[in-house]
Structure 1
Amino acid sequence: MQIISFRMPKSNSLLIKEALSLSPLPSYPSGLNLLMANHLMLLFLALFTLSVSAEVFVNLDCGSSDIYTDENSLIWYGDDSYIQNGESKTVQASSSIPHVLSTLRVFSTRKKNCYSFDAGTGGKVLVRASFYYGNYDKKSSPPTFDLQFDGNYWATVVTSSDQVVYYEAIYDIKGQSLSVCLAQTKPNQLPFISTLEVRSLDSGMYGHADPNSALLLTRRVAFGTNDTVRSPDDTYDRIWVPAVVGNGLMKVESDNLIMVVNVADYPPEAVLLSAITSTSSTASVVLGTNLPTQKVPIYMNMYFAEMSQLDSTETRSFEIYIDGKSISDPIIPPYGSVLEMYITNVTASSNTSVSLVATSDSTLPPLINAMEVFSVNDALTDGTNSKDVEALASLQSNFPILQEWSGDPCLPSPFTWDWVACSTDQTPRITALYLGGFGLSGLLPDFSSMDSIQTIDMHNNSLNGEIPDFLGTFSNLKELNLADNDLSGSIPSSLSKNNKLKLVVSGNPSLCVSGKSCKTTTDTGTSTTPSGSSKKSSKLPVILGTIIPSFAIFWVIVGILATLHHKRKTAAIAAMSAGQMGGPGKPSGPPQATPTGFNVQMAGKIGEAIINEFRVDMTQQTGSDIPNSTDQQTYQGDNQIT
């Protein structure tokens, strides 16, 4: 036994309460009544099973792709469908480990890597993560790293060369999903995980704990059993570890094979059919808690059930002591049912002494069947703002490469996603997206609910379509970089006229500002935009639009001049005929060819000018298209867009 010390809190904050228990089943006067009672009991058990089997019950064999059923009738699944990162590894062979621990998933990239689960309508869950190093990397160097859930720090995982370590948390989910993350905290110490389990609990379980905090298991013990108890004996698959019985203690078993369990936290019957007690009626029973060395808030459950029917001369009565001071009324364990006691709202440590001490009128020593000890973490975060989470989900849905990131995007700090920046508010907001060069392609989805955004960098991708109008609705936006994409159409005026915005759209050859003069310039820089013949083809409609009208005008002028020439020639012939026939005052000699000759020469000069103009126009239209360039869209207006 270990005698340890405990310092009481300054305030009177220690609470001990008796949980609801039932008396033994009553006797029935007839076989019919007994049959009815049995039917009612079966109906109750069926309804109870339905209520607890709904929601979430997940067993992941990390690093495996198999589906199989283990010796506890639990169905295990590989974890491929729950996470996209990490690498599967096999531990060094050992005949002493169960199959589920033979593989693991190790993470060599990212600040944190997360498993995510749909939790339906939320509620209370039990989450358990197990780690078996097994010298998988042949370095004989078990790592240390952080474990997180839903954006909250959970524990620092200290793995062992040859031992399995596991961590368990019970808490109320604040949303409709939950996440478990592993975060690297030391160089060259890569996080890994062997198994991950999630179980929904009844909403009333552990109901005396603060719903805004999580219960982090330090010990769950079945004092009288010889073997570990879990599913199927425990409907919720809690793991009850057998106790090591020290000197002065002994195990006792129940002589009653029917145990009525209807207390709030539903301990399995298997842990209530045996107990430990002292070999001396005057000796106390000291309980180990496995708490850390520093003081932490704690929550404890204790379960008591009498193992035999006591006669009139026997009495078992005791109290719970902490550091030599009684903190409970006398406890008398019931026979055939269970009494649950809980301790909450107190701080304790590994130096805390918790013991059961017999009362002065008791003829029998204290007795206990099972116990759960939890440390209570800080208040749970609400996570990143839900509007921002929705916006990120929209981006991830549209761009599959972004689905490699999961869990809370901002929490816990500093383990944010690699491509976001966050505010330091209690409920963080997304303030920046850094998605340059991520290989994104297609249209930009609507992420307008991310209304605290200040910086959006999406340069050097393959985004196409028009720049969406919603980008101009971000009142806090200071920088928008969409350079080197395949965007087209007009730049929304809400962006082009925003003097407070640094807007970069270079490298989008089809992009233009609606209603303004768009000047296409060339640059010697590199670009992924079309060039050469493909760009000439894009100018073909403009060239044809110049050629066809020029030819039409030319031939109209030629036709007019030809008609005039014909008329003048006819008139000259008529005049010459009149002179030959004679007549006073009429001219004579050859016809006057000068006027007609002048018109023909003018027509030729006009045609030549038109052709020369056409040649110049063709040169101007095609000259800037011929060789190679990065088209830069430059708009000179209220501000300059580069």
Structure 2
Amino acid sequence: MASRLVFLFLAFFAFSANAYVNFDCGASDDYTDERNLAWTGDDGLFQNSQSAVVQSRNTLPHVMSTLRVFTTRKKNCYSISDVKGSLLLVRASFFYGNYDGKSSPPSFDMHFDGNEWATVQTSLDQLVNYEVVYASGSDTTSICLSQTQPNQFPFISALEVTALDSKMYSYLDPIHALFLRSRVAYGADATVRYPDDYYDRIWDPATVGSGVTSVASDASFISTANAPDNPPREVLQNAITISSTSDYISINPGFPDQKVSIYMNLYFSEVTELDTTQKRSFKAYVDNKPISDPIIPPYGEVAEMFLNFTASSNTSFLLIADPDSTLPPLVNAVEAFSISNRLTDGTNSKDVQGISELQKAFSDVLEVFWSGDPCLPSPYTWEWTTCSSDTIPRITALDLRSFNLSGELPDFSSMDALVTINLQNNSITGPIPDFLGALPNLKELNLADNSFSGPVPPSLSSNKKLKLVVSGNPDLCVSSKSCQTTSTDGTTISSSIPSSGSRKKSSKLPVILGTTIPIFVIFWALVGFLLHHKRKTAAIVAVTTGQTGGANRPGGANRPGGANNMTGKIGGAVINEIKVNFQDQTTTENGDQENPHQENGDQENGDQENPHQ
């Protein structure tokens, strides 16, 4: 058997489906069974599940002694990789065995690749199998279990995935799946499967009714070269027939209560070599209407017939001898399937790509716990995604609040249908990515309570249609807080990013007023002191000199340019200086409002050109 590649993928180990993948669910060890099939224990693959041991498995094989039960999440999935384009046979087995002591076997849903498969009805003491055949349309196929009833937890005993020959079941188109209803080896006295059937299909022996006879082939070798679905020779060594050509063989492969489309393979091999006087020829009839050409079984070979028709539990399926037949009809084996609805294409590939980038970036949280299609089937979307109702759904919301995410945000810009992103209360670091502002449908973005740093991209801060929350990021540049970034050449660039999103130059008016007003006050105090001292001195001189005309002397009190004129001129100059500074400041701020993106260097050049500064 071909070797298998094993590696961790999402919430499980993913295996290469070159031949076989057999999970012994609930087991901790790998082993080879009595049929020489290798089994892999799934213990440790899920952190949100439990393994259990059944109380009794009677005569069932060892693989049915354990199971895995899932008590949390909408769905839990196994996944197999490297299967794109492969034709797969998947079998899921369930043996309750009263593992929980409640004598209450549960019911739950099962699906694959976002498609509904079956509602699993388990039994108290009987093994239940479900099997599907389909062509995988992606690199990975997922088989998922989902809880549908309170306190009825999904479980699984074994999961087997087999890659079939691409020529098998060739009448099946790749957009539909086949759900097995029955696979019967007529005339056999025991179940036929691997190693007799290379693909480990299970061929159950049929219980024959009255008037039906089991016959064995006397052919030493039966060739299956002409049978595209490769039936094992062991199911062709026996057949059932009837005693008279006037009678018929009735086949009931387990048609459902409601009418569905049926895919049926029938295998015919003559059990003895006929002489020239003998002829076995018959047709298939559905509700007494012929639906096949005459069937003449070959000796030492097999003839395979494919039929597609609509049937329910009230439908009759008969093999009736032709009028010229000397021998009654016979049949060796039958496979009957119901045909699925058209398979989904899954969630939009752009969203799957974005989700994949998130899972890679936060692999310790998102890859470990989440698998399967994020949107489908629609009742079982991932808890942190919201999806549209389109045939190919789009992811419209991500809710990853308090998911313990750490590290930088990856580029998930391909998810262009997102309307809401909530990443609150994590430990996400690094800058806020620019691509978030380019998401065309984004209306709400909550980045609060993280460790983002640097500026808020203008594409976000200036988007008036976006509800943006960035509080609780201490290293984020908001509210005019200066932030520093390092350019490609290693130099440090400083900028000021106000909360309004536009850069305004800081006002110099408080500095000017705080400097000139005290000087003005001190100046006038000094002037007052000088005037008082001057007047006192003048009075003393007048008393001493009498009428000598001292006032008309150079430097006298009435001389132009004396103390009064000097103080008046100085005071006027100071007042003018305050006015000029105030006007310059007003002009600068008006200019900034008209050119909100002007750099600091423009203001400095303007300062140099102002002769009053």
Equivalent of residue 270 in structure 2, options 299, 306, 310: 306
Does residue 410 of structure 2 align to residue 445 of structure 1? yes
Instruction: Say whether the 8 Å CA contact 1:127–1:169 is kept in structure 2.
Output: yes
Question: How do 1:345-360 residues align onto structure 2 when only pairs under 5 Å count?
Answer: 346-360=309-323
Distance 1:84 1:304 in 2: 49
Instruction: Say whether the 8 Å CA contact 2:437–2:460 is kept in structure 1.
Output: yes
Does residue 348 of structure 2 align to residue 385 of structure 1? yes
Q: Which residue of 1 aligns with 2:551?
A: none
Distance 2:467 2:288 in 1: 69
SS at match of 2:378: coil
Does residue 301 of structure 2 align to residue 337 of structure 1? yes
Distance 1:512 1:466 in 2: 10
AA paired with 2:137?
K
Distance 2:133 2:396 in 1: 32
What is the percentage of aligned positions where both structures have the same residue? 60
Greater shift in the superposed pair: 71-80 or 176-185: 71-80
Summarize deviations over 1:146-186 as a string: whole Å, max 9, x none: 01000001111111000111111111111111000111111
Greater shift in the superposed pair: 274-283 or 77-86: 77-86
Deviation, 1:280, is 2.9
The aligned length equals 468
Instruction: Say whether the 8 Å CA contact 2:281–2:327 is kept in structure 1.
Output: yes
AA paired with 2:432?
I
Q: 1:336 to 1:228 in 2, by over 3 A?
A: same
Q: Which residue of 2 aligns with 1:502?
A: 467
Deviation, 1:112, is 0.9
Q: Which residue of 1 aligns with 2:427?
A: 462
Give unpaired runs (5+ residues) of structure 2.
Answer: 3-15, 484-595, 598-613
SS at match of 1:115: strand
Summarize deviations over 1:494-535 as a string: whole Å, max 9, x none: 11111111110101111005xx82399xxxxxxxxxxxxxxx
Q: 1:174 to 1:84 in 2, by over 3 A?
A: farther
Equivalent of residue 106 in structure 1, options 69, 75, 79: 69
Q: Which residue of 2 aligns with 1:557?
A: none
Summarize deviations over 1:31-80 as a string: whole Å, max 9, x none: xxxxxxxxxxxxxxx9xxxxxx9724100011111111112211111124
AA paired with 2:462?
K
- TM-score (structure 1 length as normaliser): 0.71
SS at match of 2:379: coil
Question: How do 1:273-422 residues align onto structure 2 when only pairs under 5 Å count?
Answer: 273-344=237-308, 346-399=309-362, 400-403=364-367, 404-422=369-387
AA paired with 2:77?
C
Does residue 195 of structure 2 align to residue 232 of structure 1? yes
Equivalent of residue 251 in structure 1, options 210, 214, 220: 214
Distance 2:122 2:57 in 1: 17
Equivalent of residue 30 in structure 2, options 52, 55, 67: 67
Question: How do 1:120-139 residues align onto structure 2 when only pairs under 5 Å count?
Answer: 120-139=83-102
Question: How do 1:38-117 residues align onto structure 2 when only pairs under 5 Å count?
Answer: 55-80=18-43, 83-117=46-80
Summarize deviations over 1:539-587 as a string: whole Å, max 9, x none: xxxxxxxxxxxxxxxxxxxxxxxxxxxxxxxxxxxxxxxxxxxxxxxxx
AA paired with 1:427?
I
AA paired with 2:155?
F
Q: Which residue of 1 aligns with 2:115?
A: 152
AA paired with 1:172?
A
Deviation, 1:82, is 5.1
SS at match of 1:427: coil
Question: How do 1:9-28 residues align onto structure 2 when only pairs under 5 Å count?
Answer: none
Distance 1:54 1:414 in 2: 29
Q: Which residue of 2 aligns with 1:29?
A: none
Instruction: Say whether the 8 Å CA contact 2:427–2:451 is kept in structure 1.
Output: yes
Give unpaired runs (5+ residues) of structure 1.
Answer: 1-45, 47-52, 521-636
Does residue 181 of structure 2 align to residue 218 of structure 1? yes
Equivalent of residue 264 in structure 1, options 206, 209, 228: 228
Deviation, 1:279, is 2.8
Q: Which residue of 1 aligns with 2:441?
A: 476
Deviation, 1:257, is 2.3
AA paired with 2:347?
T
Instruction: Say whether the 8 Å CA contact 2:17–2:80 is kept in structure 1.
Output: no
Using CA pairs under 8 Å that are at least 6 residues apart, name the structure with larger relative contact order, 1 or 2. Answer: 1
Summarize deviations over 1:271-300 as a string: whole Å, max 9, x none: 111111113343211101201111111110
Q: Which residue of 2 aligns with 1:9?
A: none
Distance 1:499 1:493 in 2: 11
SS at match of 1:414: helix
AA paired with 1:145?
F
Instruction: Say whether the 8 Å CA contact 1:91–1:103 is kept in structure 2.
Output: yes
Summarize deviations over 1:477-497 as a string: whole Å, max 9, x none: 111101011111111111111
SS at match of 2:235: helix
Instruction: Say whether the 8 Å CA contact 2:83–2:141 is kept in structure 1.
Output: no
Distance 2:339 2:375 in 1: 23
Q: Which residue of 2 aligns with 1:207?
A: 170
Distance 2:66 2:353 in 1: 34
Instruction: Say whether the 8 Å CA contact 1:149–1:181 is kept in structure 2.
Output: yes
Greater shift in the superposed pair: 389-398 or 156-165: 389-398
Q: 1:495 to 1:54 in 2, by over 3 A?
A: closer
Instruction: Say whether the 8 Å CA contact 1:82–1:116 is kept in structure 2.
Output: no
Instruction: Say whether the 8 Å CA contact 1:464–1:488 is kept in structure 2.
Output: yes
Distance 2:57 2:238 in 1: 33
Question: How do 1:606-621 residues align onto structure 2 when only pairs under 5 Å count?
Answer: none
Question: How do 1:535-546 residues align onto structure 2 when only pairs under 5 Å count?
Answer: none
Deviation, 1:396, is 1.3
AA paired with 1:90?
V
AA paired with 1:356?
L
Q: 1:219 to 1:453 in 2, by over 3 A?
A: same
Instruction: Say whether the 8 Å CA contact 1:289–1:350 is kept in structure 2.
Output: no
Distance 2:346 2:269 in 1: 42
